[in-house]
Structure 1
Amino acid sequence: MNDSTSAPVDVILPCLDEAAALPWVLARIPSGWRAIVVDNGSRDGSAEIAADCGATVVSEPRRGFGSACHAGLSAATAEVVCFCDCDASMNPARLATVVQPLLSDSADLVLARRRPTTWGAWPLHARVGNAVLARMLRHRTGVRLRDLGPMRAARRTELVKLGITDRRSGYPLEMVVRAADDGWRIRETWVPYLPRTGRSKVTGTWRGTWDAVRDMRKVLRT
């Protein structure tokens, strides 16, 4: 991991109370890349742990997954940026595979398709919500994706130009919708999906999943 602004890739890691997972996650950032941990109001010392592990830490007091992602994108300087959860459900080392289609100029946006390593890694209600949204996305844009997960990569300058406005759970879907509308080449590559460390703030409950689906449905109606 490298906290230099000259890093070839910036990895944006939205963070809310992920102290237990952060050391494992940050130790697996590809060598020479910069980790940008966006602290979204943690109370468990996540920001301090991230800084001790060598990450660049950005504070975003406005709660919301999209707010954290936007703050990380604003702080990024590398031409290629990645997004990844920092709950240890996905190994950041796999980002090298996600970035490859960008580097070979065969894609403009690459999403990681999650393959759970255990049944409990991806709860049924979260899988159902994801499948429904993927079907709605295909109807809205014609883009066929199996997963709308958070791990992804794109070129920073082009991503900024998309002008994503959602600051809640709809941010990842709005990114895909706007990219599709702009004619981007969108690809998927699979990654293992592990049981997360700690309790999910979004997909760990039916209520959290429903709130995320509601936010994303708003995006698809615009």
Structure 2
Amino acid sequence: MPDVVLPCLNEAAALPWVLSRLPGGYRAIVADNGSTDGSPRIAAAHSAVVVHAAPRGFGAAAHAGLRAATADIVCFMDADGSFDPRQLPRVVAPVEEGRLDLSMGRRRPTDRRAWPVHGRVGNAVVAWRLRRSSGIQVYDLGPMRAARREALLALGLVDRRFGYPLEMVLRAAEAGWRIAEVDVDYAPRVAGRSKVTGTVRGTARAVRDMTKVLSR
């Protein structure tokens, strides 16, 4: 069964809900990126594997989790409760069945608070540039996705910031992977504000990091 990488920075309030909803047989790997709220302790108490990732950055945490994974298929998902872990099988199935090499969850907001306008616009602009420059028909660069572990490691991903999800798609396309999206629910996070979509500054930082990846 798949491993699920959960990049984490101060998600103590959301982790119990997220980890309790993992489908049977799915193993959680919480890649902690310097939390100060006890997130690693809570994750371990809920039977998750905990790895400590440095330096600070989404890509650093995601890649540390990938390196710690041992399952054939690895999923990625935010640890803030905005995604329902019970929907992971719909993202995993196309990879498991050999229909896709990279399956990506396309976010469908369940509430207007889930995805602020600046977050949607920033994502749409980067996705449009990706389609225009590469021909990849991807409309969302969201963090819920699944692929085979060895193939992911072979991509040689180097970005350790918010450009990591985009670099994964670009490298996968260059390698001739079959890539497509599957609809998943996207809800308001359990507590606090998203470090990316929660503020205009966070969204701008993510767009900047992704733009750097596109320009390489």
TM-score range, shorter chain: over 0.9
1:203 to 188, 197, 200: 197
2:178 is matched with which residue?
A: 185
Does residue 212 (structure 1) correspond to residue 199 (structure 2)? The answer is no
1:88-121: CA deviation from partner (whole Å, max 9, x where unpaired):
0000111111000011111000000000011111
Alignment of 1:69-108 (within 5 A): 69-108=62-101
Aligned residue number for residue 3 of structure 1: none
Partners in 2 of 1:59 and 1:39 — Cα distance? 5
Correspondence for 1:164? 157
CA distance in 1, matches of 2:186, 2:197: 14
Q: Distance in 2 between matches of 1:135 and 1:42?
A: 34
TM-score, scaled relative to structure 1? 0.96
**Residue equivalent to 2:106:** 113
1:54 to 47, 51, 54: 47
The CA deviation at 1:144 is 1.1
Q: CA deviation at 1:84?
A: 0.2
Structure 1: which 4+ aligned runs deviate by more than 4 Å?
none
Partner of 2:117: 124
Structure 2 unaligned segments of length 5 or more: list them: none
User: What secondary structure is seen at the aligned counterpart in 2 of 1:119?
Assistant: coil
Residue among 128, 140, 143 paired with 1:135: 128
Alignment partner, residue 142 of structure 2: 149
- Give 3-state SS (helix, strand or coil) of 1:61's partner: coil
Query: RMSD value over aligned CA atoms?
Result: 0.7
Equivalent pair of 2:137/2:180 in contact (CA under 8 Å): no
How far, CA to CA, are the matches of 1:61 and 1:105 in structure 2? 34
Identity %: 62
Pairing 1:10-49 to 2, within 5 Å after superposition: 10-49=3-42
Distance across 2 between alignment mates of 1:218 and 1:44 = 32
Q: CA deviation at 1:201?
A: 1.2
Counterpart CA distance in 1 for 2:121 and 2:172 is 24
CA distance in 1, matches of 2:180, 2:196: 25
Partner secondary structure for residue 113 of structure 2: helix
Aligned AA (1:70)? H
How far residue 145 of structure 1 moved from its aligned partner, in angstroms, is: 1.2
Q: Distance in 2 between matches of 1:118 and 1:34?
A: 29
Shift of 1:61: 3.2
Distance 2:41 2:65 in 1: 17
Checking the alignment, whether the CA contact within 8 Å between 2:75 and 2:147 is kept in structure 1 is yes
Opposite residue 213 of structure 2, the aligned amino acid is V
TM-score with structure 2 length normalisation?
0.98
* Unpaired stretches in structure 1, ≥5 consecutive residues: 1-7
What CA deviation, in whole Å up to 9, does each residue of 1:172-191 have, x standing for no partner? 00000000111100010001
